[in-house]
Chains A and B, each alone.
Chain A
Amino acid sequence: SQKIEQNSEALNIQEGKTATLTCNYTNYSPAYLQWYRQDPGRGPVFLLLIRENEKEKRKERLKVTFDTTLKQSLFHITASQPADSATYLCALDFNQAGTALIFGKGTTLSVSS
């Protein structure tokens, strides 16, 4: 069955540095991979989606890469701020519409000032 892993449960960095989060998957070739942010007690919020034929996608300070050969996605937050502290989840679809997702367990990012 499909498996998705985020290799760090927690990541602590200093303000201004770049945070890099990793997502690996096995036994599947997703058409899309998505990243979400979740704050405590809240529902996840969609951040970025990258398609299998895209190598990289950017949105403001966020950058996502997708390597289908390595079966890996990297999520970068540049010039990180304390407000970026949250849990970040990667998810891959298992239906063509991208509406049924398997999630990783998330990486909790803490940015200290």
Chain B
Amino acid sequence: KAGVTQTPRYLIKTRGQQVTLSCSPISGHRSVSWYQQTPGQGLQFLFEYFSETQRNKGNFPGRFSGRQFSNSRSEMNVSTLELGDSALYLCASSLGSAMTSSGNTIYFGEGSWLTVV
């Protein structure tokens, strides 16, 4: 089956602009989470959506927002871009229900590389 698909793969934006990244989860998966990865901070949790509702939120400013659609596809938006927002943004999907005995395996996409200049 198709994996987690993220678009676009690469993009360059200017400070002050905004950006929208898209994620299509694996078919049947209802949980979509977003992470930011930078060399200095590593992988940091942004937020998680389950059945169109934000279920968990990381410690990022309000410039970072997201949403999930009824088909489980998700978008994240970053407004008023700063140089420090340059990073690999990763989307991950899973079934998302309460942990089963086999665990809730999480599948990551290949990420969207954002460069802010």
**Which residues of A come within 8 Å of B, CB atoms?**
31-32, 34, 36, 41-46, 49, 51, 89, 91, 94-106
Contact = CB atoms under 8 A, between A and B. Distances in A.
Contacts, number: 78
Residues of B in contact with A, size category: 20 to 34
Contacts of A34: 103, 106
B7 to A, nearest CB: 14
Given A44-B43, A100-B55, A95 B107 contact: no
A98 B45 contact: no
Interface of B: 4, 31, 33, 35, 42-45, 48, 50, 55-56, 58, 90, 92, 94, 96-99, 103-111
| Chain A contact surface mostly | loop
B96 A97 contact: yes
9 contacts: A43-B90, A49-B105, A95-B48, A97-B50, A99-B48, A99-B50, A99-B96, A100-B48, A103-B43
